[in-house]
Amino acid sequence: MFCGECGTKNAKNSKFCEKCGAKLEVEEAPVEKEEKKKTTSKKVAEKKETPEVVAETKPVKNETVNKPAKKGLSPLIKGLIIGGSCFIALIIALVVWLSMITKPSHIVNNIMKAFVNENYEDIYEYVVDKEPTGDTTFVSKTAYANIIRATATKKVSNYTVGNNSYSLGNLVVTIPVSYTYSDGKSDDTKFIFTNSGEKRFLFFTKWKLTSGLGSSASIVKDYTIKVPKGAKLEFAGISVDKSYLDKSESTSTFDAYKLNQVFNLRTPIKATLTNGVVIDEKVTPSTYNNTYTVRLSSSSVSQKFKDELVTEGKKDLTAWYKAITDEKGFDTLDSKKFDSKVKSEYESNYKSIQTDSKKLTKFNITKAEFSSLSTTDEGYVKVFFKITYDYTVSYKDGEEMKTKDKNSYDYVYVTYDTNSKNNKVMAVSSLPTYFSRY
């Protein structure tokens, strides 16, 4: 049995084509076929009597036509659509985020968090007017953090930020903040921002912090610091090496260091003298006063150093008066301790004390007290002492020699070269030369 659709031969009595699946016609019985044959022959004969133009027909091959399925979007197009959507979403999120971080209230929160956590480096970007260029050693994040750390007297433990208030046509923003220190005491401040007229990230207002904790820092250029000769210098907690030494400004008693850029903030300075004495000070650089001289002062030295000076002064004055009471010359004093510059002062004291009519025979310092100190133009340390002493004076009373024991006190100055190995005495003044016999 052959398929009428595709012509494939199929098994007898098959109902569907094994190849294309089309329904097969069942073969007719022989009688029916004969009758059909006769009928067909008769029709043919009739057709012969009436000639017709019959068009030649060709057998049509039946084929199954598969309609093309509708095509979807290509992977490339789908990828572009998804990527574009993600990009737009990312841009929107970025704009929202940039808008948030440039708001004054966000800046205040970050600054206060930095104070609570003592991460002062995080404040840097909000307080520096413009990113420094060139040598940024002393205007770096580290330098700024050291400055704040050295000047912060207490640690902030928590805070509350108030509402923004705008003025001058939204050109100025004021934000109140109350905060509590770790010791429980409270304080408050106002952060004030002004519109700088510049933009951050192309589109957002750049606010300049003008007041509040960690307020704006400007840069001072070519700042000179003078320290006693040979002293080691630290500025803003950073060691100042010899590359900053300005030889043209240095002298025999002072080294001058020129720092390219510093902040105009109250900055810690530490100078360690050659004898180990440490001077701690704070200075506020400015363009109008761009030179500072580190000097020893009562407030810049430790109590330990003051006590050492008192001990040294008492010892040196004792040696001074011992030579006088023994009626010996200046040359008997230790030359490593007393500079030759004080020889004239010694001889003047000696002549005033040891006369023909009166002589000092005993001088004993019972107490020495530190009063103050200062630094001379030469870089020496001038110490002001109060000394309490007992003394014995012998004098002529007519032809008879008599003695008198008394006690008294005086304020005296002793000037030291603290850069020398033995703290050499460079000058003395206001030493007692009158010893009453009454």
Tell me: the pLDDT tens digits for 22-35? Answer: 877 765 545 455 55
**pLDDT, position 202:** 83
- Cα 153 to Cα 185: distance, rounded to the nearest angstrom: 13
Whether 415 maps to a domain, the answer reads yes
pTM of the model: 0.64
How many C-beta neighbours within 10 Å does residue 147 have?
23
The residue range of the domain holding 39 is: 1-46
User: Which residue positions in the chain have pLDDT lower than 50?
Assistant: 29, 31, 44, 53-55, 57
**pLDDT, position 362:** 96
- The CATH number of the domain where 383 resides is what? 3.10.450.240
Tell me: do 324 and 424 sit in the same domain: yes
Q: Report CA 403 to chain centroid distance, whole Å.
A: 70
Tell me: do 310 and 389 sit in the same domain: yes
**pLDDT, position 152:** 83
**pLDDT, position 13:** 77
Length of the chain in terms of residues written? 438
**pLDDT, position 53:** 47
**pLDDT, position 305:** 87
CA neighbor of 174 nearest in space, from 104, 125, 127: 104
- Cα 185 to Cα 178: distance, rounded to the nearest angstrom: 11
Going by the DSSP 8-state scheme, the letter that residue 14 receives in this structure is -
Tell me: do 406 and 322 sit in the same domain: yes
Whether 156 maps to a domain, the answer reads yes
Tell me: do 326 and 247 sit in the same domain: no
Going by the DSSP 8-state scheme, the letter that residue 339 receives in this structure is -
Encode 83-123 in three state secondary structure: HHHHHHHHHHHHHHHHHHHCCHHHHHHHHHHHHHHCCHHHH
By DSSP bridging, strand 238-240 and strand 232-235 are antiparallel
**pLDDT, position 285:** 94
Whether 93 maps to a domain, the answer reads no
Token pair of 38, please? 């006769």
CA neighbor of 190 nearest in space, from 202, 176, 171, 179: 176
Among the candidates 159, 185, 211, a domain finishes at 211
Whether 160 maps to a domain, the answer reads yes
Tell me: do 226 and 200 sit in the same domain: no
Among the candidates 183, 211, 239, a domain finishes at 211
**pLDDT, position 419:** 75
**pLDDT, position 67:** 57
Tell me: do 203 and 252 sit in the same domain: no
Tell me: do 314 and 400 sit in the same domain: yes
Whether 27 maps to a domain, the answer reads yes
Beta strands per DSSP E along 162-229: 165-167, 172-181, 186-200, 204-211, 219-228
Tell me: do 420 and 314 sit in the same domain: yes
The number of distinct structural domains making up the chain is: 4
